[in-house]
Structures are given as C-alpha cells and as structure tokens.
Amino acid sequence: MKTAVITGSASGIGAAVQRQFVEAGMNVIGVDIARADVCADLSSAAGREAAVDTVLARSGGVIDTLVCCAGLGPQAEPATLVASVNYFGTLALLDGLFEALKRGNQPSAVAVSSNSAVLQPWAGHPLHDAYLEDDEARVHALVEASPADQAGYAAYASSKHALAVAVRRRAASWGHAGVRLNAVAPGAVQTPLLEAGLRDARYGEAIRQFVPPVGRRAEPDEIASLIRYVCGEQAGFIHGSVLFIDGGHDASVRPDAF
C-alpha cells in the first residue's frame, strides 16, 4: 500500500485529495492545524519541524506521494501569516520530506500554487527576491510595509508565485533523484477559504468579480482529480510543470504568455 502525505487535509482541496486517495486504497497521513493525523502550525519554524518529524515517524521514513495544499487566503490576519504558511511552510515540508520521498515507490509531489501568482509582474520585485533567498524576516517586513488594504493580497500572490518558481527550480535535482515535483495553479475554488474571502470587506468584491470564462468556480474534487492524476503512474513524464486549472482565466488575462 502506498503512503501519501497531504497538508491542509482538514478542509477544501486538501480534504478532497485525502478522500480520493483513501478511495484509491492509499494510506494517507493528513497534516493540518487541527482535525488531522498530524496537527501542526506551519506558520512557525517549530511547527514545521514538528510536522516533518511526526510525519517521518508515522511513515517509517518512506513516502510515495506528498501533496502540499495547506495555505491561507489574503484575508488572514496578520498578512505575514499568509507568506509564512503558503511559502515557507510548504517548502519546509517539501524539503524536509525529500529524503523519505526518494525511498518511495515511483514517488511524486505536488504543491498548490494559484493562478493569482501571475497577475502581477514579480521578477525583480523585493518580495520575490526575499522569498527565494529564504529570508522570512525580510518577507514579513516588506508585507508589513505594504498599504493595509493591499498587504494580504500582496502576501498571497507573491507567496504563490514564489512557490511555483521554487518548484521549477527544484526540477533538475528532484528529477535526478527520481522524484517528480509539480505545481498546480487553481483559480477560484468553492472552499471554506474562499467563503471567508468573500466575507472580507477588503477583498470580497474582487473575489466575486474573479469569474473565469467557463462562468463558475471550481469544486474541490475537480482540483483533487488533477492532483491525483499528476501524482499517478500514468503521469510519469510530467515533471517541473505549473498546471493551470482555472476555467480559462489565465488564458483570458494573458493569452500570449505561457
């Protein structure tokens, strides 16, 4: 039986991935801040270390599949938490469980980014550089310096962009080690996280207007189905990719950039 680790397993996309993996007969270790097999706060270095250590103990140091879904939306307060969980928390799990993945059977990992990651030009931006230099304190300072009504969105979009870049930067080393690594970039998905954003006075209207060409939001199971496919043996040549699943939103906003 294959072992899968899923962060953010208590709700939304993570819960849908866990359900589909269990139905496929996998042994699943869920990680979340509560209501999970491994309860840990990925916003802190101590919480990340505890999560990695506990997962390694529960898995016996062998993992076949890792899916990093844990994340916060732009409405989370303080906004620095968004950057800490979405980027630094995800990278800590990816890198901390890499050796266990190397011992797995046809191992693969997926990190959940967002189509919001490409809606601003991040190349050369101080936030972009701070993430990729692994400088969490500097990221926090830059987020805190943003206008109050924009800090959450800046933290969200920049963290998801930096995460996608980090995945692609690992493609060579992970591929040579026999571990496939990809990112998926969903658009608006009908989750508790999105519902919380809709209730936020700062970001609710922008989220309501964020409607893709297909005219609806995705269901969590639709995103989970792509993740399940990308993690599977039939997707053995998909590696180092950022796969958009956003109802055509990215294509409509920037049709000539891909």
- Which residue's structure tokens are 């304190």? 137
Distance (Å, rounded) from C-alpha 84 to C-alpha 164? Answer: 15
| Phi, then psi, of 221 in degrees rounded to 5 | -65, -25
Residues 13 and 58: beta-carbon distance below 8 Å: no
Contact 16, 221 (CB under 8 A): yes
Which residue in 87, 156, 203, 229 is the catalytic one?
A: 156
Distance of alpha carbon 228 from alpha carbon 231, whole angstroms: 5
User: Buried b vs exposed e over 19-45: b needs ≥16 C-beta within 10 Å?
Assistant: ebbeeeebebbbbbeeebbbbbbbbbe
Tokens of 231: 């993690």
> What are the two backbone dihedrals, phi and then psi, of residue 241, each rounded to the nearest 5 degrees?
-105, 155
Angle between helices 12-23 and 220-231 (to 10 degrees): 50
Length of the chain: 258
Contact 186, 242 (CB under 8 A): no
Active site residue 156: yes
- Catalytic (active-site) positions: 156
